[in-house]
Amino acid sequence: MSAASQSFEAPAEARTSAAPAGRRSGRAVSARLLLGVVLPLGLGLVWEAVVASGFASGRLMPPPSRVIAELVRLASTGALWEHSLITLSRVLGGFAGGAVAGIALGVLTGTSRLLRDLLDPSFQALRSIPSIAWVPLFILWLGIFEASKVTLIAVGVFFPVYLGVSSALMSVDRRTAEVGRIFRLSRLATVRRILLPSILPATVVALRTGLGLGWMFVVAAEFMGASSGLGYLLVDGQQLGKPTQILAAILTFAVLGKATDAILASLAAPFLRWQDSVGEAP
């Protein structure tokens, strides 16, 4: 080895330009998507056939065709858009408030020992209260209308975001933080140039969890004295005995929840291209 070492040239390294690695082919993706719909589609078709051939009435569990008809009816009267839009605006309003507060307080407690000792115990105590338990109080304080609903959603979003951000900050690798120390970054520069970029992936996960909880809490909020929104359609469908309306609202919830999560994920993806993980951007 030692004889070879002197004549050993720097290895000629591939001169490829920075090409993003591991992009899956479009065909493989659509094949996998198809695989995912096999089960729900199959079950729907089976139920459709069972009801059509008269083995079941489908009164309590209507077949897909009736649910679709109900969706079309709701859409054509404009009710579907109206209720969806109201629910969506409640979720987004609550999400915005909860996320901003969660990130801000998470960063403060995650970067300052003093603030952490001061604030974190209170947040942990508040977190152990099931958030729905606040509803009566919020209604007393803020009334029955929008403010109490949006606040409840914001509370639901706040905790996962706060917890995700502050715990991610505290588990930043010491070795990474030392790079900041060796280049003598100020405290603020360390937060901005080392800590915040380090926790970006965890923050996106926390925000997506928060958004999911926002959708959960909007249903709770709309169960309580709402006269509009998808949650109202649920209650209304139950009181009038219209399972098709309930299922139509549930389907809409599913589509909206998935869509907002996908939008959030794709907004974050360009900032996470540097990540070196098994599953590329979701």
Interface residue list for other proteins (CB under 8 A): 1-3, 5-6, 8, 10-11, 13, 15, 17-18, 21, 175-176, 178-179, 181-184, 193-194, 197-198, 200, 273-276
Nearer to other proteins, 55 or 274 (CB): 274
DSSP notation for 145-178: SHHHHHHHHHHHHHHHHHHHHHHHHHTS-HHHHH
247 within 8 A of 67, measured Cβ to Cβ: yes
**Closest approach of other proteins to the CB of residue 268, in Å:** 13
Nearer to other proteins, 2 or 128 (CB): 2
Helix (H) or strand (E) holding 3: helix 2-7
Which of helix, strand or coil describes residue 277? coil
**Closest approach of other proteins to the CB of residue 182, in Å:** 5
Nearer to other proteins, 107 or 230 (CB): 107
Distance of CA 227 to the CA centre of its chain: 26
For residue 177, CA distances in Å to 109, 173, 184 come to 17, 6, 11
**Closest approach of other proteins to the CB of residue 28, in Å:** 22
**Closest approach of other proteins to the CB of residue 279, in Å:** 14
Nearer to other proteins, 193 or 242 (CB): 193
